[in-house]
Amino acid sequence: MGADFTVTLLNGRKTDVYFLSTIKELSAKLSAYGRRVLWVFDSNSAALFTNLPANSVILPSGEKNKTFSSIEKIISAALDAHLSRDSVFIGFGGGVVCDMTAFAASVFMRGCSLILVPTTLLCMVDASIGGKSAIDFKGGKNLIGTFYPAKDVLISSACLRTLPQQEFISGMGEVIKHAFLTEDDALYDFLVKNRNAILKKDRETVSEMVNMSLRVKASYIERDPEEKLGIRQALNLGHTFAHALETTANFSIKHGIAVAWGLSRAAYCGAELGITSRELQEKIDSLLSLYSYDIPYRIGRGEWLDFYSSVGKDKKRLQGGVKFVLLEAQGRPVLRELEQNLVKSAVISAPSRIS
Ligand SMILES: NC(=O)c1ccc[n+]([C@@H]2O[C@H](COP(=O)([O-])OP(=O)(O)OC[C@H]3O[C@@H](n4cnc5c(N)ncnc54)[C@H](O)[C@@H]3O)[C@@H](O)[C@H]2O)c1
């Protein structure tokens, strides 16, 4: 079976992306990787299997387990199973499992084959392609990692059946971001037209949406595989606001939900500066409202100092300043430093444009 599409990264390394409609089709594809395989799950993704395959590691779920000690567990299991460099690591789970499996695969015997099976929407549309592997270290998110693209990414929207709705809505934040990172209105129109089916996680509709969304991400990473040319940074649209909000809220707000809010705040700043048209700002806010994100949300005045110091710590700080991604037009991102007062008005006191 041929791949649905292929992403070409650094040094011609390719990731083949396959869409599989049912768990049965997914299992058939997975069985073709043979026996020299190590499976990595977390406690929730493992529950999608009635009988776990041989050579499985089940890690506890959650970001707090994205650590060296989990990598040690993965590599120990690979050694216990007498696997070597010609073996395959399969990461089966959300972004945490996939990032860690990729990191472990990149260092095990100086690199073995990597297959990713994303089971959250966020991982399907974002973490599964692009080659970034990572673990957290000393309180810093994704501080240690490698560029190590998966050979294959297998996507089945059937895996989302058990995903909690809040996790699904979080993934939708990244999908909506992608809709505004392309000049083509196809994804935007699809999201407007199919809202109900999407929110009900209708398998075929979600699969088509993930396919369109992932192609937008692929178009950026292929042009800037190592994030050195400023092109791939566009994928951080909304993220500087989002990271600061997540930190201020002690990570009680899910990442993609913070990204949706950040997208709206970036559109506001762009419009205030005359970079983004008011029409595009309205288009962004209306789509976010259609998916019930709390766009009028503002941080309390007492949170401002914490919020702004988190903005300063954002890893996208370049040459001393923090660059925000703004939109010159749909699909035309630009990087800009923003005055403190503008950021403040965007997150504390800006009037909502939603009527
Ligand atoms: N590598 C990249 O380019 C990249 C991009 C974006 C995000 N990330 C990383 O991804 C992580 C976030 O990913 P995430 O949102 O998938 O988080 P996650 O992996 O923690 O998954 C969220 C929750 O859903 C559970 N879960 C997963 N699949 C499930 C299923 N099918 N049914 C029920 N529960 C399920 C998980 O156990 C977890 O509790 C972060 O660590 C982030 O840094 C990486």
Amino acid, res. 142: N
* Top-confidence residue, 75 or 313: 75
Does the CB atom of residue 93 touch ligand 1 within 6 A? yes
User: Ligand 1 centre and the CA of 77: distance in Å?
Assistant: 22
Adjacent-strand bridge partners of 77 = none
Domains of the chain plus CATH, in order, are 5-163 (3.40.50.1970), 176-349 (1.20.1090.10)
With a cut of 90, say whether residue 316 has pLDDT above it: no
Query: At 13, phi and psi to the nearest 5?
Result: -70, 135
355 band by pLDDT with thresholds 50, 70 and 90: very low
pLDDT of 354 reads 52
pLDDT of 14 reads 95
Query: Residue whose CA is closest, atom 21 of ligand 1?
Result: 94
Query: Residue whose CA is closest, atom 30 of ligand 1?
Result: 163
Best residue for ligand 1 mutational test, from 167, 221, 243 (most atoms within 8 Å of Cβ): 167
Does the CB atom of residue 42 touch ligand 1 within 6 A? yes
pLDDT in tens, 91-136: 999 999 999 999 999 999 999 999 999 999 999 999 999 999 999 9
* Top-confidence residue, 355 or 245: 245
User: Ligand 1 centre and the CA of 283: distance in Å?
Assistant: 28
Contact status, residue 259 vs residue 242, Cβ threshold 8 Å: yes
% of the chain exceeding 70 in pLDDT: 96
pLDDT in tens, 242-258: 999 999 998 999 999 99
pTM for this entry: 0.96
pLDDT in tens, 6-53: 999 888 899 999 999 999 999 999 999 998 999 999 999 999 988 899
Provide mean pLDDT across the span 210-219: 97
Q: How far apart are CA 332 and CA 238, in angstroms?
A: 14
pLDDT of 321 reads 76
